[in-house]
Amino acid sequence: MRPYIESFTLLTNREELDYIWDEVKMTCYDTFYPFKIFMDDRLPRVDFEPITIFYGGNGSGKSTLLNMIAEKAGVKRTSPFNRSVLFPEYVKRTKMSAREIPYNSRVMTSDDVFEHILKVRNINSRVDNRRDELLEEYYDIADPLKPSVGLRSLAEYDEWKRKSDIRSGKTSASRYVRQNMRGNIDMHSNGENAMLYFVDNITEDAVYLLDEPENSLSIEYQLRLKTFLEDSARHFGCQLIITTHSPILLSMKGAKIYDLDEFPVCTKKWTELENVRKYFEFFEERREEFI
């Protein structure tokens, strides 16, 4: 598949210095961010594949790069980011080669996933409160010390039948709760809900920029996400631009990986990355413990 976003060209060292000298030198800005992040032409241009990954340690600029590409492409997002006063000025001076970006393209960050998990928790909390109310109601009706209520009119039949079934034992407490609950009770773990967030929000034929999507995911769910993302790019026309430290996601088939820890930035195989090598060495040193 031909990527929607084909290339992204950052400012040259000369262009950055000229702007800072001509436009910013007389101001009182506390920071030039995102200027000076990619100084000295350490990353002149990014060329994309259907799956492109930015790898690097904290402070390497991978999230900054992702956000600049998203802003240049006009991709919608939910969570705010570190948008400094000079951020639009930098992005305006970058160049992008791209086809028309589909309307359903979007940025997904770990903040978005955490917000989703918190919403699910809040819903579950309300469900739990309603469950407690129903149990209290059930045991109040079933209390043998309370007088039973007779049927006074046909209009009261449903309510009379409900209470009669409780008092006679035909309706158990658990059944009463199930019959009267409104909405579904979510029994998924945080990891399951995080995985479901991606499955529910990634659709066909769009660009998705994912900032460290492995957060909140166990190894099992990282493996599931890896397969899901590979299939989304290979079979469903999605372009994925990802920042990650996860060896699982770094191993995605066909991914083009930029190592932002290198100077100048270069592309590497996932097995050549320092983070992955450290994992390999850690387990290799303990190989006999797995036998």
* pLDDT per residue as tens digits for the range 223-278: 999 999 999 999 999 999 999 999 999 999 999 999 999 999 999 999 999 999 99
Q: Does domain 5-112+189-290 have CATH number 3.40.50?
A: yes
Q: Tell me which residue of 211, 246, 230 sits closest to 112, measured CA to CA.
A: 211
Q: Copy the structure tokens of residue 1.
A: 């598949």
Report the C-alpha gap between 143 and 131 in whole angstroms: 18
Task: Provide CATH 3.40.50 ranges for the chain.
Answer: 5-112+189-290
pLDDT of residue 185: 47
Q: What torsion, rounded to 10 degrees, do the Cα atoms 204, 102, 50, 38 define? A: -140
Residue 11 DSSP label:
P
Report the C-alpha gap between 79 and 260 in whole angstroms: 24
pLDDT digits (tens, 9 = 90+) for 173-222: 666 666 665 554 444 566 677 888 888 899 999 999 999 999 878 999 99
Within its chain, how far is the Cα of 181 from the centroid? 30
Q: Tell me which residue of 96, 79, 73, 48 sits closest to 241, measured CA to CA.
A: 48
Q: What torsion, rounded to 10 degrees, do the Cα atoms 52, 63, 212, 185 define? A: -120
pLDDT band, residue 156 (cuts 50/70/90)? low
Average pLDDT, integer, range 159-167 = 68
Long-range contacts of 129-135 (CB under 8 A, 24+ apart): 130/181, 130/182, 131/177, 131/181, 131/185, 134/176, 134/177, 134/180, 134/181, 135/173, 135/177
Q: Which residues pair with 76 in a beta bridge?
A: 106
Average pLDDT, integer, range 102-121 = 83
Single pTM value for the model? 0.77
pLDDT band, residue 113 (cuts 50/70/90)? confident
